[in-house]
Amino acid sequence: MPDLIPTVQGNHASMKILVTGSAGHLGEALARTLLNLQHEVVGLDILESPFTTRVGSILHRSCVRRCMSGVQVVFHPATLHKPHLATHHRQDFVDTNISGTLNLLEEAVEAGVESFVYTSTTSVSGDALLRPAGAPAAWITEDVTPLPKNIYGATKAAAEDIRLHIPGRALALNGEAGNCCRALNACMSTSVLETNLGGCHDTT
């Protein structure tokens, strides 16, 4: 993170950064760290929390659009993840992990966001994580073909692919300014999906 988000000192100016899933473990940790680095943080979640400044859903385009105002960097760990397989329908995973990510990507382009960091999961690799016979471990690189075993891994893999097909020069989705982190498995709050929340509001 220090290379992408420098501490505000010297020639480094404070940045406005959107963190999705700010009530979850990873989102909260990101928001706390960024605030300690003296950046302005917009924390978006369907749940109120000490680090949530906007209560709303990534499924609602108007809410996402408002949250993007003036933002330079987006961290997107909000997700339905593996434990939700027992409590949510497959369509819920498609809506949140794919459609929600698409909303964020497209609105980030429209808002002129400079960097977008998407946290994926090792579950994308799925069966590719199995240790080959005689090998001490499975060696996973970006060249390994994902073999997800469930709807969670499949939707996270699909979201990875979507980010490669968003037009617009305003948002760097590849290279140093745009990143996809599979090793960071976003462990968010137990209720990440809220279909009845029609908008977003400030908590401050």
What distance in Å separates the CA atoms of residue 58 and residue 64, rounded to the nearest whole number?
6
117 in Cβ contact with 4 (< 8 Å):
yes
Q: Express the helix, strand and coil content of the chain in percent, nearest 5 each.
A: 35, 15, 50
Sequence-distant (≥ 6) Cβ neighbours of residue 66 within 8 angstroms:
54, 200
Q: Which amino acid is at 93?
A: F
What per-residue confidence (pLDDT) applies to 130?
84
Q: How confident is the model at residue 21 (pLDDT cuts 50, 70, 90)?
A: very high
Phi, psi of 151 (to 5 degrees): -65, -30
- Mean pLDDT, residues 2-22 taken together: 73
What are the domain boundaries of the chain? 16-188
% the chain with pLDDT above 90: 52
Active-site pick, 41, 152, 155, 163: 152
pLDDT at position 2: 43
Closest by CA to 189, choosing from 18, 13, 5, 43, is 43
- pLDDT at position 59, please? 97
- C-alpha–C-alpha distance, residues 185 and 182, integer Å: 7
Mean pLDDT for 71-83 is 93
CA distances from 16 to 5, 20, 72, 153 (A): 11, 13, 6, 30
> What is the secondary structure of 19-65 as a DSSP string?
EESTTSHHHHHHHHHHHHTT-EEEEEESS--TT-SEE--TT-HHHHH
Q: How high is the pLDDT of residue 12?
A: 65
Residue 45 is predicted with a pLDDT of 97
| Mean pLDDT score, 61-72 | 97
- Please give the residue that has the higher pLDDT: either 88 or 176: 88
Q: Which two tokens stand for residue 181?
A: 């982190």
> What CATH class has 16-188?
alpha beta
For 37, 50, 109, 173, 199, the CA distances from 177, given in Å and listed in that order, are 19, 28, 13, 7, 30
Task: Indicate the pTM of the whole model.
Answer: 0.79
**pLDDT band, very low/low/confident/very high, at 1 (cuts 50, 70, 90):** very low
Annotation marks residue 118 as catalytic:
no
